[in-house]
Amino acid sequence: MDSSLLELLILVPAVATALMFFVPAKSRALVVGLPAVAGAACLALSLRLFWIASTGGEAALAKLAPPVTAIVPSFGVHWALGADGMSAVMCVLTSIVMLAGSLVSIRSERTHTGIGDRPKVFFLLFLGLVTGVFGVFLFRDLFLFYFSYELAVVPMYMLIGMWGSTQATANKDYAAMKLTLYLTAGALVALVGLLALYYQAWQINGKPSFLLSDILAARARFDAGFQIWTYAFLFIGFAAIIPMWPLHTWSPIGHAAAPAAGSMMHAGVLMKLGAFAVLRIAYPTCPEGAAHWMPYVALLAMMNIVYGGLVAMAQQDMKFVIGFSSSSHMGYTLLGLASVEVIGCSGSVFLMFAHGVMTALAFSLIGFFYDQTHNRWIPDLGGLAHQLPFVGTCFVFMAMASAGVPGFANFASEFMVMVGAWKAGFVWQAVVSVFGVVIGAVYLLRAVRDAFFGPRNPRWNKLHDAHGLQRVPFLFMLAVLLATGFYPRPVTDVIDAAVRPIVQDVQRTKTYREKYPDRIELAEAQR
Amino acid sequence: MTGNVLLMLPEILLGAGAVLLLLWDLRLPAEKKGLLCWGAVAVAAAALAATWAPDIARTLSASPADAASVFAHESFAVDGLSVFLKRLFAITAILVFITAKDSVDAFPNARGEWWTLGVIALLGMFLCSGANDFMTLFVSLETVTVAFFALAAFRRDKPASVEAGLKLLVMGSLSAALLLYGIALIYGSTGTVFFSEIAGKIAPRALPDGTLVVPAIPAEMVVGAALVVLGLGFKTSAVPLHVWVPDVYQGAPTPTTAYLSVGSKLAGFVLLIRVVAMFGASPELGAQIAAFMSVIAGVTLLYGNLGALPQTNLKRLMGYSSIAQCGYLMAGIAASWEAGMSSALFYMASYVGMNLAAFAVIMSVSRATGSHEIDDYSGLARRSPMLGMALTLALLSLAGVPPFMGFFGKFFLLGAAYGRPELFWLFLIGIACVVVALYYYLSIVRRIWSEEPRIRTEIRAPRRVTLTLAAVSVVLIGGAILPNLVQAPATAAVKQMGVFPGKPPVPPRALR
């Protein structure tokens, strides 16, 4: 089975999507069961992938790649799959969110709110989106990568437009359209860079090919100017989905308007595609560009952290708080990328994992009470922990994870990022960013206090807490956060093995050596 | 050389079929006129099957002279390009006929002639795909256009329909005049109407001693070529002869609009590719015409996409969308290298599926609601999930979203324009228009799915239509997953023409 592991990871959600077409809409058990089963299958497959990565290392992962076959020879489009430690971790994340998202939606379907309306179409789009996400993580061909990227973005439009909610601050139609246009425009900017790589490699190799390996083979002859400008297009394009300040405005409103499983997928996985694409495509193909732009990226990352955090402090809508906090946290991912240090970049990828699980947990919890209250305006809530002790407890745990309390994966990963930034010489950026954690504590603790603590509010007496099987997805995600927080080594080792060669490639570039002669000396002295 | 008559079998079948349909129509009682639809479908299917006849003829014939791919003194080419397009035309006609049956059967008058005219238009399109000299080009083009004058004005009881026919007539005559003037100028400077001879006269030749003689291109030749491209723009709905499109699309009977939006447009494109290939024989003229077309492509893209934004009538919006799609195709053709041409062919194939699926839904919905207003598509998915889903897939494919054929085609059309550094601006316009187009297509998708219908009665489409829509949807998705099934013959057809370079013509400038 290992030989077709990567193909199965793409085919399982794809086939589930196709099967969904033929599931009778009236058979609820099948409609909600199919995505959960597909999610469990994907989780098993990705854990197997992770196991191979952690026992055999990169060499064992390289052996998994199926043979490359040309799909369209005249344009050089190839069926090429490949995984490294980074994709393995991201696949595990996607499967966790996919499984939890489907489980959460089963409940939401029972209460006839949320996606109670036309669940079949909902899961059809949900599974199509997941197929695209796995494609982004696993395809090693730029065309199929782009194909999957767009496939992951567009279903979100309908997920928000059909099952989203319109509140005073977030109109779902506006949010859905804004999200789609921002992300598509971003993808098209990245396309400029992707096509530049394609044609430049064609010129050098003498044959058209979208294969990442063919483009990397031609990289030695990309001149520095080309790399710098191509990197700028790739980075800005992918940064729209990270979301990097000032391209982030689609994100909080998109979270706020989306249904629970949609927000989980969106914040948990979709936002990670950008940083993944930067590490997977932009860094290896344009290392000179990565070295050239890193100080500017570090500045933008700092803006993300502080600005996102400050705006989150001013929010009254629970989903907007988490939405802006997501954009603030993704600033740490950017900062880690900008450091071009192994520990910083590994920290970024680990944070993508940790934040993905944490924010999926946050949105599933908010979805749980919003399904019943139809209200997430923080001043209207209050004292919810009386009626919802279990959900309230989970929410407190989530808030602690988000605020970077030790013991959660978020702490470990953000710490790695800070160390990376410091090592890279972004001292004051790191110092300012540390205060982002303080800001995070302010808005998260306030949200917890105002929504869950305080006197019992009789208005919410009819609410019922999560019981029995409903608790499973929440406990599952919480367990993942705590387990990887207390013992991050297995995950960071796998990430580290994948990130190290990419980062070292950038450190060997001329631009980097000219910019940071002292860092080179330091590294050599340590050796 | 007269060639093998089998090479023209599809056209012969269509001509005979049109006459037979007309005769059958005379003898059929009024209540049985619906049968004519199946007659027309059978004729188109026979023509489709006959497009394989040249292959059979080539395998059967022993002498190479019989296997020639040109016919009637090089007036008519039967090559990869023409066969590719003929199959598209036949499939277009079959899809239109099957889905239009109910609408045509409901016409108050002269229901039979619609099918005969439809087959005659198809014959014109088949002739267009093989036209290899300017006389054949003009005559076959007019065969299509004249048939569509009548088809557009078919509802004599509706002023909008008559107006549409008249508009088509006036604009068609203007464009025919431009085209003829261009042809006259080219004839005046080369002394021939045959494409192969014109290409021979303007192509650089090597003398026996090895020196290369580049014939000077006279100014009237350039003007003539530009006028021909402009005149064909009437069919392809390119700016500036696009002005009829929204009005005629809205006013003509919907079956006619569906047929016009695909068949007539692709007929213009195949002729455009043919003449561009001919002008490309001279690098100088080829570059000038490519530059001219790139400007047209850019303006057409902007006009179509921006014009579609404020529309409230779906048929009219499809008119603007049709102009916009023309812009993408022109961008690929203006790039004038293999990838641009072959992805234009691929995109035409996907266009057949996605546009006709959209119009099939429009016909079914308007038969139930009597309206083409986008407001009346609100909540369509509740009134008929099948029609809602089919229209959504068609619109998403038109918007160029994966996993549909439209995505693949658009990606490589714009990618081909990117391959020429001097067309980078056109590429930028193209990607900006993709975002704009996403806005207006998704706005309709939103109405279909997330708004509540004003009237909740169910809309029922005949089984014949739903099965066709299901098949088209499967092809639209399957064609994106296995694109080489269409792309390989398209690439082969372009390679066979032997004019367009297989690599980007100029080494692409690094992005600085």
Same domain assignment for residues B273 and B295: no
The answer to whether A150 contacts B445, with C-beta atoms less than 8 Å apart, is no
Same domain assignment for residues B218 and B365: no
pLDDT of residue A497 exceeding 70: yes
CA distances from A79 to A67, A76, A280, B273, B479 (A): 8, 10, 17, 31, 15
Q: Which of B131, B212, B139, B142 is nearest to B172 (CA)?
A: B142
Q: Is the peptide bond before B255 cis (omega within 30 degrees of 0)?
A: no
pLDDT of residue A10 exceeding 60: yes
Question: For position B67, what pLDDT does the model report?
Answer: 46
**Residue A198 with chain B: CB contacts under 8 Å:** 415
Same domain assignment for residues B76 and B135: yes
The answer to whether B508 contacts A203, with C-beta atoms less than 8 Å apart, is yes
The answer to whether B412 contacts A75, with C-beta atoms less than 8 Å apart, is yes
Spatial distance between the Cα atoms of A339 and A430, rounded to a whole number of angstroms: 10
What is the token pair recorded at A489?
């080594």
Spatial distance between the Cα atoms of A179 and A247, rounded to a whole number of angstroms: 11
Residue of B nearest to A158 (CA): B446
B279, B307, B339 - which closes a domain: B279
Q: Are the C-beta atoms of residues B434 and B400 closer than 8 Å to each other? A: yes
Placement of tokens 């040309």 in the chain: A70
Spatial distance between the Cα atoms of A440 and A313, rounded to a whole number of angstroms: 8
Note whether A182 contacts B: Cβ–Cβ < 8 A. no
Range of the domain at B406: 282-512
Note whether A210 contacts B: Cβ–Cβ < 8 A. no
Give the max Cα distance, chain A. Answer: 74
Spatial distance between the Cα atoms of A252 and A184, rounded to a whole number of angstroms: 17
Nearest to B435 among A72, A185, A192 (CB): A185
Note whether A75 contacts B: Cβ–Cβ < 8 A. yes
Same domain assignment for residues B231 and B291: no
Query: Kind and range of the H or E element at A469?
Result: none
Question: For position B46, what pLDDT does the model report?
Answer: 94
Question: For position B223, what pLDDT does the model report?
Answer: 94
Q: How far is B279 from chain A (nearest CA, A)?
A: 25
**Residue A128 with chain B: CB contacts under 8 Å:** 403
The answer to whether B504 contacts A199, with C-beta atoms less than 8 Å apart, is yes
**A148: confidence class by pLDDT, cuts 50, 70, 90:** very high
The answer to whether B449 contacts A158, with C-beta atoms less than 8 Å apart, is yes
Nearest to B439 among A73, A181, A192 (CB): A181
The answer to whether A223 contacts B510, with C-beta atoms less than 8 Å apart, is yes
The answer to whether B511 contacts A233, with C-beta atoms less than 8 Å apart, is yes
- Quickly count: other Cβ atoms within 10 Å of residue B308's Cβ: 23
Question: For position A295, what pLDDT does the model report?
Answer: 87
How many CB pairs (< 8 A) connect A and B?
A: 104
**A32: confidence class by pLDDT, cuts 50, 70, 90:** confident
**Residue B385 with chain A: CB contacts under 8 Å:** 25
pLDDT 10s digits, A63-104: 888 888 999 988 989 999 988 889 999 999 999 999 888 888
Q: How far is A161 from chain B (nearest CA, A)?
A: 6
Same domain assignment for residues B62 and B38: yes
Q: Which of A234, A242, A298, A303 is nearest to A273 (CA)?
A: A242
Same domain assignment for residues B252 and B296: no
Q: How far is B255 from chain A (nearest CA, A)?
A: 29
Exposed, middle or buried, B435 (CB in 10 Å: 0-12/13-18/19+)?
middle
Give the residue from A17, A31, A145, A154 with the most B CB atoms within 10 Å of its CB, the best one to mutate: A154
For range A164-178, the mean pLDDT: 79
Residue of B nearest to A230 (CA): B511
The SS3 of residue B154 is: coil
B279, B306, B339 - which closes a domain: B279
Same domain assignment for residues B225 and B346: no
pLDDT of residue A62 exceeding 80: yes
Nearest to A225 among B439, B504, B510 (CB): B510
The answer to whether A154 contacts B402, with C-beta atoms less than 8 Å apart, is yes
What angle is formed at CA A290 by the lines to CA A286 and CA A296, rounded to 5 degrees? 145
Q: How far is A119 from chain B (nearest CA, A)?
A: 13
CB burial of A341-370 (b: ≥16 within 10 Å; e: otherwise) equals bbbbbbbbbbbbbbbbbbbbbbbbbbbbbb
Nearest to B511 among A173, A202, A226 (CB): A226
Note whether A209 contacts B: Cβ–Cβ < 8 A. no
Question: For position B385, what pLDDT does the model report?
Answer: 87
The answer to whether A154 contacts B396, with C-beta atoms less than 8 Å apart, is yes
pLDDT 10s digits, A326-380: 888 888 999 999 888 888 999 999 999 999 999 999 888 888 888 777 778 888 8
The SS3 of residue A179 is: helix
Note whether A203 contacts B: Cβ–Cβ < 8 A. yes
Question: For position B115, what pLDDT does the model report?
Answer: 92
- Quickly count: other Cβ atoms within 10 Å of residue A312's Cβ: 25
Identify the contact set of chain B against chain A, taking CB-CB distances under 8 A: 338-339, 342, 381, 385, 396, 401-403, 407, 411-412, 415, 418-419, 427, 431, 434-435, 438-439, 442-443, 445-446, 449-450, 482-484, 487-488, 491, 503-504, 507-508, 510-512
Residue of A nearest to B441 (CA): A177
Q: Are the C-beta atoms of residues A497 and A491 closer than 8 Å to each other? A: no
Nearest to B445 among A77, A158, A198 (CB): A158
CA distances from A9 to A99, A513, B224 (A): 14, 40, 57
Same domain assignment for residues B220 and B343: no
Question: For position A111, what pLDDT does the model report?
Answer: 46
One DSSP character per residue, B56-77 reads: HHHHH--STTTT-SEETTTTEE
The number of distinct structural domains making up chain B is 2
Same domain assignment for residues B341 and B389: yes
**Residue A172 with chain B: CB contacts under 8 Å:** 450
Q: Which residues contact B45 (CB under 8 A, 6 or more apart)?
A: B90, B94
Question: Which position has the higher pLDDT, A425 or B190?
Answer: B190
Spatial distance between the Cα atoms of B129 and B141, rounded to a whole number of angstroms: 10
Give the residue from B378, B428, B440, B442 with the most A CB atoms within 10 Å of its CB, the best one to mutate: B442
Same domain assignment for residues B370 and B259: no
**Residue A223 with chain B: CB contacts under 8 Å:** 510
The answer to whether B445 contacts A230, with C-beta atoms less than 8 Å apart, is no
| 3-state helix vs strand vs coil in chain A, percent to 5 | 80, 5, 15
Note whether A177 contacts B: Cβ–Cβ < 8 A. yes
Note whether A124 contacts B: Cβ–Cβ < 8 A. no
Here the ipTM equals: 0.91
Note whether A223 contacts B: Cβ–Cβ < 8 A. yes
Placement of tokens 């709110």 in the chain: A113
Same domain assignment for residues B270 and B330: no
Give A98's Cβ-side CA count (13 Å radius).
36
The answer to whether A72 contacts B431, with C-beta atoms less than 8 Å apart, is no
The answer to whether A121 contacts B449, with C-beta atoms less than 8 Å apart, is yes
Beta partners for A70? A78
For range A399-421, the mean pLDDT: 88
Note whether A434 contacts B: Cβ–Cβ < 8 A. no
Note whether A184 contacts B: Cβ–Cβ < 8 A. yes
Q: Tell me the pLDDT of chain A averaged across its residues.
A: 86
The answer to whether B438 contacts A226, with C-beta atoms less than 8 Å apart, is no
Question: Which position has the higher pLDDT, B510 or A21?
Answer: A21
B262, B279, B296 - which closes a domain: B279
pLDDT 10s digits, A187-204: 999 999 999 999 988 888
Note whether A190 contacts B: Cβ–Cβ < 8 A. no
Spatial distance between the Cα atoms of A286 and A192, rounded to a whole number of angstroms: 14
The answer to whether A188 contacts B435, with C-beta atoms less than 8 Å apart, is yes
Note whether A225 contacts B: Cβ–Cβ < 8 A. yes
Same domain assignment for residues B318 and B257: no
pLDDT of residue A169 exceeding 80: no
The answer to whether A177 contacts B449, with C-beta atoms less than 8 Å apart, is no
The mean-pLDDT minimum among A117-121, A271-275, B121-125 falls in A117-121
Q: How far is B458 from chain A (nearest CA, A)?
A: 16
10-residue mean pLDDT profile of chain B (512 residues): values are 71 93 88 88 93 76 53 77 93 93 83 89 94 92 92 89 91 93 94 90 86 87 94 91 91 92 93 92 89 94 93 92 94 91 94 94 89 87 89 93 90 90 91 93 90 84 91 92 90 88 66 40
Q: Are the C-beta atoms of residues A380 and A372 closer than 8 Å to each other? A: no
